[in-house]
Amino acid sequence: MIKEKESNHPDAKYVDKFMGYQSRLLSVAASLGNFKFLIELLQLCPELVWKVDDNDRTIFHVAVLHRQESVYNLIYEIGSIKDLITSMKDTDDNNILHLAAMKPEQSRLQTVSGAALQMQREILWFKEVETMVHPSLRENENKQGKTPQNLFIDEHAELMEKGESWMKQTASQCMIVAALIATITFAAAFTLPGGSNQDSGHPIFKHRPAFMVFVIADAVSLFSSSASILMFLAILTSRYAERDFLVSLPLKLMVGLLTLFISITTMMIAFAASFYLVYTKDIKWVPYLVSGLAGTPVILFAGLQSRLFFDVVGTTYSSRSLFKPERGMLY
């Protein structure tokens, strides 16, 4: 009778409504990554970590679902109760690893460019949450009868295909350029500027400093373009398993782009040195002008491809600190 009176109290519905608003507020803050606001609330009322929304999800479940690492990292500061929170399930029997297996909204995927790098970030999230949960939860099934691993494969099948297509298309286009450079520099090695001495067969300009610049730059260009071809070939012949997107493929793409840039740069240096050797005695300002213009392709390549290169580097190596919490944020 006491419980019935309490439930029928005129203020009870307002209390329930307030608690509902509170749950929605926490859920929205977690989905938007507003960790500063959540920190303020948790410092005032630590028991809010147990508060669940309409889908029985805590702020950490919501953070994983919406890929908000700043909110998720707070789980490192709540002590041993994180084991109890990570074992909680939502209304569809999804544990927190199931939520990590679900594909987030497109706006969160686009925080990194390229389907392959997006796939890399998704695998990174899944691996992180997998280390957080108890091993028994990794094989739990939700209401659809899917384990987290099976759900991840189903949810990311399309993204994985796009990542494979993007990686192969990028590698094949860069490989064509690297092959052209290798062909040119190989031919240039046997077509020396100024020719060779008819009697000794030695290069005429072999004692000129510019000739040594030409030889070294041409050799470096040939070697780096060959290395670039091998890297892009390795990408094209890769198995494209899930784990390949995490380190192997991005690393090969990084090395391939870097060696391709080196080959283009040294090829232009070899061209400028060769032009200087042949035409420096006639009109001196022409070799200097042409040598300056030889830097244009290098600048263009750096400007056009640097964003892709730094995106790959940043996404691959910054991911190591993605889930590295700042100590003392809560307490």
Residue 12 has pLDDT above 70, yes or no: no
Give residue 18's identity as a one-letter amino acid code.
F
Give the per-residue pLDDT at 110.
83
Give the per-residue pLDDT at 154.
94
- Alpha helices, DSSP H only, in 94-208? 96-101, 106-109, 115-132, 148-155, 157-188
d(CA 68, CA 50): 18
Would you list the domain boundaries of the chain? 2-155, 164-317
d(CA 63, CA 303): 36
Taking residues 57-66, report their average pLDDT.
94
Task: Flag the least confident range among 7-21, 23-37, 96-110.
Answer: 7-21
Number of H helices, E strands in the chain: 15, 0
CATH of 2-155, one of 3.40.50.2300, 3.40.50.800, 1.25.40.20, 1.10.3720.10: 1.25.40.20
d(CA 290, CA 270): 12
Give the per-residue pLDDT at 193.
64
73-116, pLDDT tens digit by residue?
999 888 888 889 999 999 999 999 999 999 999 888 888 878 88
Give the per-residue pLDDT at 6.
42
Give the per-residue pLDDT at 320.
67
Residue 9 has pLDDT above 50, yes or no: no
The mean pLDDT of the chain is 83
Q: Assign residue 103 a region (left: φ > 0; alpha: ψ between -120 and 50; beta: otherwise).
A: beta
Cβ burial, residue 143 (10 Å; 0-12/13-18/19+): exposed
226-279, pLDDT tens digit by residue?
999 999 999 999 988 888 898 899 999 999 999 999 999 999 988 888 877 776
Task: Flag the least confident range among 39-48, 51-60, 191-200, 210-219.
Answer: 191-200
Q: 203: which strand partners?
A: 196
Task: Describe the crossing of helices 115-132 and 157-188 by its angle, rounded to 10 degrees.
Answer: 130
120-175, pLDDT tens digit by residue?
999 999 999 999 999 989 999 999 999 999 999 999 999 999 999 999 999 999 99
297-319, pLDDT tens digit by residue?
888 888 888 888 888 887 777 76
Asked if residues 154 and 122 have their Cβ atoms less than 8 Å apart, the reply is no
**By 3-state DSSP, what share of the chain in percent is helix, strand and coil, each rounded to 5?**
70, 0, 25
170-216, pLDDT tens digit by residue?
999 999 999 999 999 998 877 766 555 555 556 665 667 777 888 89
Q: Give the single-character DSSP code of 80.
A: G
pTM of the model: 0.79
Q: Under 8 Å CB-to-CB from 250, ≥6 apart: which residues?
A: 116, 117, 120, 312, 315, 316
Taking residues 13-33, report their average pLDDT.
69
